[in-house]
């Protein structure tokens, strides 16, 4: 009996020990994401372009020249891979749109680094459509006229940043899970061309509650080891909260939403509540060690503004707020707010009004007394464009947080993709006709008179107006000096009156694209449709429904289909046939004629059918690489200078002596500076707010990637070698009371071309 008991005990102990180690093994290998079938990796890198002298891309307003930074721009990437199978890459750019030339050069670099692992088939590069980013990075003439041609600095920072964000995502690849969720945002977009939308069939419109898409689709990425590491979402609203006269680089409402969400996640361990102004608290780990106001004033008085001093390039990077706060070895949380079918969707949700009378604009033409220049849309923060940007960004951010927290549906099944290049200038399209089909054709690219009228987000000039299907004899005469469209082109584009026959203009090189990429990325039950333009609401609905019908035939469960707008290249707008007939701005900017949407639907259905049947598709004709043909008329920086006895970085206008500010106040400091084109401060900052910890330790608190801090650059005249940097800090309600100062980092250029970095600091002041 004793022997039996001893043997029984030893067996029991062995069993318990075995189960213990089995449990440990399972625990270690299950991680936080469960039974993962994917490898996931996310990355992010600074793509902020030249903050001076370069025309902004989007409004085509020659007077909108970059002169500072509101928010830094970033490339954000996710990679999803099957451990032994296929993989896809999606890059979201804080830029107006993707560029064919940028895409070509990024793919060349990826091939040199990774071989055939990443290529045109499985890499998508998409723009958020901010109208507050430097231009000059596209290769076709019509898109770089206002930027005085090609801007190499704009182009290089994009290519470099995209590549580095993909490298980071690739290096971060590890087992994880992806969750998908959907929800509505009712107050972040309105239809800016309702008269065109109303021309769609009544039966079709009756299927939808709204005249714009209100749904956001969000992906939540959860790493098995680290837990949540990011989110990407798609929602349709234009990046035009910032106006056509804004000179500060900004990601607009989507760039703001991304900044808010990344900061929210990094700080949610401290507090899950939103700050009272709706933006996450920027610096949550700062604790003031001083309680008496007079003590703070005495301490601040001991830090007077020093003379500007030489600095190293790396100092600007080292003092970045988010670089300081980032945890070692842990992937940074990446959140992207991607663009969708935003063609006719405006964030200026209060409506369009005449600036002279305050009355609503004309419904059909968006004019005021016949003039389009007086009709402007109003954002929710009107008349403050920064407030409108914050509000629309916050509305997207809050919905994204809710979807992120509640996401429960897991993406499953295989990863796949299809890609093709299509010549849209002469594509035969089968369209349904009573009793069968009719074969029609697309046209070489052309823009109509309504294009020059602009939109309520950014009106054009002269006497153009939206909804013009006749044209104007004077402007036709001006047009003919460039290129007179032939009868075949006029008939093909009808009822569009052609203002610019861009598809047939080839001097000094192509004015508009003919060959466009189309692409489907599939991750389990999610399909991402990469489109190289801006689809209107109804055009996007038709495309999504057509693809979903094909994909659903080969799938048992629900298929989620999202449109990724402005992806891989740019070719302006895509409307429905009925909207095209009205010839508002979007129809006049639908380049390839009235059957453009039907062509997209036809070709995307081919890609979807190939996915279902597991067949390959013809790659199609390659688009041109026009890098060696580019012309640039932007003058370089010759040199920078300061008055005698003044150093770069010296304070020109300081804070008042013994100053105390309250939260909500504006602090303004002006420095002697140099042209920001000398160094883009990539992954660094031009502006910095520091907080005094203890009696002699300055801690980074806010930089030029914070919504509350603006860097404004100016020179007294265009040819002047002298310039100023103005830092404006609107003190957040969440700011910690204490002693602060404002710093500036820059780089000057000598007459002989050498670049020297400098730094400057204001006197210290108190925030009570």
- Assess whether 126 and 183 both reside in one domain: yes
Pick from 553, 273, 241, 494: which is nearest to 389 by CA?
A: 241
Both tokens assigned to 476: 């036709």
Domain presence at residue 13:
no
Q: Tell me what pLDDT residue 12 has.
A: 36
Q: Tell me what pLDDT residue 113 has.
A: 98
- Assess whether 598 and 650 both reside in one domain: no
- Assess whether 723 and 746 both reside in one domain: yes
- What DSSP state is assigned to residue 149? B
Q: What's the CA gap between 184 and 212, in Å, rounded?
A: 11
Give 376-429 as a 3 state SS string: EEECCCCCCHHHHHHHHHHHHHHHHHHHHHHCCEECCCCEEEEEEEEECCCCEE
687-693 and 738-749 strand pairing = antiparallel
- Assess whether 667 and 546 both reside in one domain: no
Task: Give bridge partners of residue 87 from the DSSP assignment.
Answer: 81
- Assess whether 644 and 738 both reside in one domain: yes
Specify the number of domains making up the chain.
Answer: 2
Q: What's the CA gap between 163 and 110, in Å, rounded?
A: 7
Q: What's the CA gap between 97 and 569, in Å, rounded?
A: 7
- Assess whether 614 and 669 both reside in one domain: no
Q: Tell me what pLDDT residue 326 has.
A: 58
554 touches 514 (CB < 8 A): no
- Assess whether 556 and 525 both reside in one domain: yes
Both tokens assigned to 685: 């900052």
Domain presence at residue 18:
no
Q: What's the CA gap between 192 and 98, in Å, rounded?
A: 23
Q: Tell me what pLDDT residue 2 has.
A: 37
Pick from 679, 726, 647: which is nearest to 316 by CA?
A: 679
CB-hemisphere CA count at 13 Å for 20?
Answer: 6
Residues 6+ apart with CB under 8 A from 508: 141, 629, 631
Helices (H), 134-248: 152-171, 194-197, 202-205
Q: What are phi and psi of 12, to 5 degrees?
A: -60, -45
CB atoms within 10 A of CB 687: 28
Pick from 717, 679, 707, 716: which is nearest to 50 by CA?
A: 679
- Assess whether 215 and 108 both reside in one domain: yes
Q: Tell me what pLDDT residue 273 has.
A: 39
Domain end position, chosen among 601, 629, 657: 629
- What DSSP state is assigned to residue 304? P
Q: What's the CA gap between 558 and 547, in Å, rounded?
A: 13
Domain presence at residue 26:
no
241, 335, 340, 346: which one is catalytic?
A: 346
The CATH number for 642's domain is: 2.60.40.2300
Q: What's the CA gap between 741 and 315, in Å, rounded?
A: 17
Q: What is the torsion angle, in degrees rounded to the nearest 10, for the CA atoms of residue 432, residue 433, residue 438 and residue 443?
A: -70
Both tokens assigned to 688: 């910095």
- Assess whether 258 and 393 both reside in one domain: yes
Domain end position, chosen among 606, 629, 652: 629
Domain presence at residue 388:
yes
Q: What are phi and psi of 361, to 5 degrees?
A: -70, 160
CA 284 to chain centre: 27
Is 243 considered catalytic here?
no
Q: What is the torsion angle, in degrees rounded to the nearest 10, for the CA atoms of residue 598, residue 599, residue 601 and residue 607?
A: 160
Domain presence at residue 123:
yes
Q: Tell me what pLDDT residue 35 has.
A: 59
- Assess whether 402 and 517 both reside in one domain: yes
Domain end position, chosen among 629, 650, 683: 629
Q: Helix, strand, coil shares of the chain as percentages rounded to 5?
A: 25, 30, 45
CB atoms within 10 A of CB 712: 20
Residues 6+ apart with CB under 8 A from 364: 195, 467
Domain presence at residue 294:
no
Looking at every residue in the chain, the average pLDDT score rounds to 92
Q: Tell me what pLDDT residue 288 has.
A: 52
CA 230 to chain centre: 16
585 touches 191 (CB < 8 A): no
Q: What's the CA gap between 387 and 252, in Å, rounded?
A: 11
Q: Write the DSSP string, 26-59.
A: HHHHHTTT-S--EEEEEEEEE-----EEEEEESS
CA distance from start to end of the chain: 80
Q: What are phi and psi of 199, to 5 degrees?
A: -80, -10
87-93 and 123-127 strand pairing = parallel
Helices (H), 553-614: 577-582, 585-588, 596-613
194 touches 212 (CB < 8 A): no
- Assess whether 561 and 656 both reside in one domain: no
- Assess whether 699 and 606 both reside in one domain: no
SS3 470: coil
Domain presence at residue 43:
yes
Which stretch of DSSP H or E encloses residue 104?
Answer: helix 100-114
Q: Write the DSSP string, 627-665.
A: GGG--B-PPPP------TT--TT-EEEPPPTT-EE-TT-
743 touches 761 (CB < 8 A): yes
Residue 744's domain spans which residues? 636-767
Rounded to two decimals, the pTM is: 0.93
Domain presence at residue 457:
no
Residue spans of the chain under pLDDT 50: 1-34, 270-281, 283-285, 287, 290
């Amino acid at each position: 009996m004793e022997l039996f008991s001893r043997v029984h005990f030893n067996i029991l102990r062995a069993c318990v020990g075995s189960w213990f180690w089995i449990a440990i093994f399972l625990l270690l290998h299950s991680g936080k994401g469960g039974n993962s079938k994917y490898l996931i990796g996310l990355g992010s890198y600074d793509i902020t372009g030249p903050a001076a002298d370069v025309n902004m891309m989007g409004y085509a307003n020659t007077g909108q020249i970059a002169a500072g930074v509101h928010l830094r721009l970033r490339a954000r990437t996710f990679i999803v891979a099957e451990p032994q199978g296929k993989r896809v890459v999606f890059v979201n750019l804080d830029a107006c749109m993707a560029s064919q030339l940028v895409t070509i050069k990024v793919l060349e670099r990826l091939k040199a680094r990774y071989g055939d692992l990443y290529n045109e088939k499985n890499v998508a590069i998409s723009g958020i459509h901010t109208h507050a980013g430097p231009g000059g990075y596209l290769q076709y003439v019509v898109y770089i006229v206002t930027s005085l041609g090609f801007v190499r600095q704009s182009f290089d920072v994009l290519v470099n940043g995209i590549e580095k964000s993909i490298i980071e995502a690739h290096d971060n690849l590890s087992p994880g899970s992806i969750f998908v969720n959907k929800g509505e945002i009712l107050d972040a977009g309105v239809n800016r061309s309702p008269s065109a939308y109303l021309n769609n069939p009544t039966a079709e419109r009756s299927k939808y509650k709204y005249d714009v898409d209100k749904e956001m689709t969000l992906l939540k990425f959860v790493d098995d080891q680290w837990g949540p590491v990011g989110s990407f979402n798609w929602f349709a609203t234009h990046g035009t909260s910032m106006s056509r006269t804004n000179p500060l680089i900004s990601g607009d409402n989507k760039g703001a939403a991304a900044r808010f969400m990344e900061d929210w996640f990094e700080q949610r361990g401290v507090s899950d509540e939103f700050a009272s102004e709706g933006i996450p608290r920027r610096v949550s780990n700062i604790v003031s060690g001083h309680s008496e106001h007079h003590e703070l004033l005495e301490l601040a008085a001991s830090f007077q503004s020093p003379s500007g001093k030489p600095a190293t390039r790396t100092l600007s990077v080292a003092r970045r707020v988010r670089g300081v706060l980032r945890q070692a070895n842990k992937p940074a949380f990446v959140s992207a707010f991607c663009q969708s079918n935003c063609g006719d969707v405006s964030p200026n949700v209060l409506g369009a009004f005449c600036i002279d009378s305050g009355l609503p604009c004309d419904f059909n033409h968006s004019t005021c007394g016949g003039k389009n220049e007086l009709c402007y849309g109003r954002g929710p923060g009107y008349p403050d464009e920064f407030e409108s940007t914050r509000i629309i960004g916050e509305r997207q951010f809050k919905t994204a947080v809710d979807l992120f927290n509640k996401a429960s549906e897991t993406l499953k099944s295989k990863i796949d993709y299809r890609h093709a290049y299509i010549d849209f200038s002469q594509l035969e399209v089968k369209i349904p006709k009573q009793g069968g089909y009719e074969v029609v054709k697309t046209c070489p690219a052309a823009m109509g008179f309504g294009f020059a009228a602009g939109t309520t987000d950014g009106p054009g000039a002269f006497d153009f107006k939206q909804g013009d299907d006749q044209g104007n004899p004077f402007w036709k005469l001006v047009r003919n000096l460039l290129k007179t469209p032939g009868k075949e082109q006029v008939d093909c584009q009808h009822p569009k009156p052609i203002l610019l026959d861009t598809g047939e203009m080839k001097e000094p090189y192509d004015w508009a694209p003919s060959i466009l990429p189309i692409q489907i990325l599939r991750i389990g039950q999610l399909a991402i449709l990469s489109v190289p333009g801006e689809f209107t609401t109804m055009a996007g609905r038709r495309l999504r429904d057509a693809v979903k019908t094909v994909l659903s035939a080969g799938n048992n469960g629900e298929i989620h289909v999202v449109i990724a707008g402005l992806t891989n290249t740019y070719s302006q707008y895509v409307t429905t046939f009925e909207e095209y007939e009205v010839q508002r701005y979007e129809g006049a900017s639908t380049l390839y004629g009235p059957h453009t949407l039907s062509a997209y639907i036809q070709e995307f259905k081919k890609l979807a059918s190939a996915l279902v049947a597991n067949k390959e598709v013809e790659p199609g004709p390659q688009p041109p690489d026009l890098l060696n043909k580019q012309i640039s008329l932007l003058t370089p920086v010759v040199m920078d200078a300061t008055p005698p006895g003044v150093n770069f970085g010296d304070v020109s206008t300081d804070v008042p002596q013994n100053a105390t500010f309250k939260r909500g106040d504006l602090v303004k400091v002006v420095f002697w500076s140099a042209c920001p084109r000398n160094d883009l401060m990539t992954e660094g900052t031009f502006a910095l707010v520091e907080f005094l910890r203890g009696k002699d330790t300055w801690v980074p608190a806010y930089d030029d990637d914070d919504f509350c801090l603006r860097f404004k650059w100016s020179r007294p005249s265009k040819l002047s070698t002298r310039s100023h940097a103005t830092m404006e800090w609107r003190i957040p309600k969440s700011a910690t009371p204490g002693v602060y100062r404002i710093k500036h980092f820059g780089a000057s250029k000598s007459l002989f071309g050498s670049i020297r970095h400098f730094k400057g600091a204001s006197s210290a002041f108190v925030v009570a």
